[in-house]
Structure 1
């Protein structure tokens, strides 16, 4: 076989591998994008209707007992909750019945694994913004306390716009 023919075949194989890798990455990005919007526009399940207060926009934090980032998320909620207006509230939903983190009185705490499972977002920790009718309007992974603060600012701005 001539060296030029061998080089062309090797380049073709490398190009095909590059295309396959690109297609796989594209598919994964699309899956992640769909996961980020999972549940938006859906009313919370019947057993979850006890989440939040009527007429109030609720920021629901879904946390896990084995999650190292969740401690930072809970700390951010504890810091932000006292300064929220009455039109916005926090709810923490944990799968740990022995959850014992300090939270302000204004934060609703639900320690029920059944309700935790009924919130069907594919990531933990997660933040969900639930409107006054119990419809999820936004979901996002809660990767840090800064994300919690940003979502709280957005929920307050959303509520002020709707008034």
Structure 2
């Protein structure tokens, strides 16, 4: 799915979108706002690279971060829900992961990304994707593509 597809559906359904990004550093928001007319449906992007930023900007619980670590489904869930509650969007996506190189562990390998998708009036969806040690740029680009697919799929179901 492309950002163009996402915008067309969001405009058709009058749905505002927001992003909460860690490992992508704003690339998802950038992909969306690269498209002319995106201001009609893109509300804002939160780039929360540090744990402190996740807590301050999105309301992620320090207890959740301590218990599960930043790269976890519980944190992705709280990021997506935090973006939803702190924006005018009706649909948000969050990403938190280990793009590499390095930085991973046996429990959380390089290339692991946790996604959250929050939509007003629906249960928040979370999933983890292991892209593998593809290199930093490839992991980040794969994360952007998957996030756009999640958003587009959600819009098709509304």
TM-score (norm 2): 0.37
TM-score (norm 1): 0.36
RCO (CA 8 Å, sep 6+): is it higher in 1 or 2? 1
